[in-house]
Amino acid sequence: MSSISFIGWIHTIAGTAAIFIGVYILCKYKLIEFSLYSGKIYIFLTGISAATSLLIFNNGGFNLAHLLGLFTLMALLVGFIFENREFFGISRHLQAFSYSATLLFSLIPGMSEVFTRLPPGNPIAQSIFDPILQKTFIVLTFLYFCLIVYQSYWIKFRLKT
C-alpha cells in the first residue's frame, strides 16, 4: 500500500467529510444548496477535494480521477450559477442535478480508492476495471438517476418557490 502525501491527506479528509455532509443534506433537505450553512460547507469541501485531486499523480499522469475532479469543479460552478440565476424555469432542476452530480463524481473515485486499498495486503479490487468496481459504478449511477427523478418530483410538487 502506497503512502499518502500531505496533499493526499487534505484531499482524503475533505472528500470524505464532503461525502458524509452531502448525504446528510440530501436526506434532510432533499437538495444541496449554497444557501444552506451545511451546503456552503459541502461545496467548499467538495471544491477542495476536487482541486487537490488534480495535484495527485500516484498512477502516472492525468487519469479518469482527474477528469472527474474537473467535472466536479464544473458541476459546482454550474450549480452555483443556476442557484443564483433563473433560466426558463428550470434553474432549480439544473442546480439540483449539478450539485448532486458532484456527489456521484466524488463517490466513483472514492469507492475506487477504498476497494483497491482495503483490506491492506488483500484489497477487494485489483484495479478500477475490476468487475466488483464496475458493478459498483453502475449502482452509483443508477442511484444518481433515481435521485434526480426524486428531486424533480420534489421541486415540482413539494417545494414552494
Domain that holds residue 38: 6-158
Q: What is the mean pLDDT of the chain?
A: 91
Number of domains into which the chain is organized: 1
Cα 56 from Cα 51, distance rounded (Å): 10
- The answer as to whether 1 is a domain residue is no
Q: Which three cell numbers stand for residue 64?
A: 479518469
What is the per-residue pLDDT across 81-107, written as a single tens digit (0 to 9) for each? 998 888 888 889 999 999 999 999 999
With 0.85 as the threshold, say if the pTM is over it.
Answer: yes
- The answer as to whether 39 is a domain residue is yes
What is the per-residue pLDDT across 122-146, written as a single tens digit (0 to 9) for each? 999 998 899 999 999 999 999 999 9
For the chain, the 3-state helix, strand and coil shares in percent, each to the nearest 5, are 75, 0, 25
Cα 61 from Cα 100, distance rounded (Å): 28
Q: Are 74 and 97 in contact (CB under 8 A)?
A: no
> What's the N-to-C CA distance of the chain in angstroms?
50
The confidence band for 161, taking pLDDT boundaries of 50, 70 and 90, is low
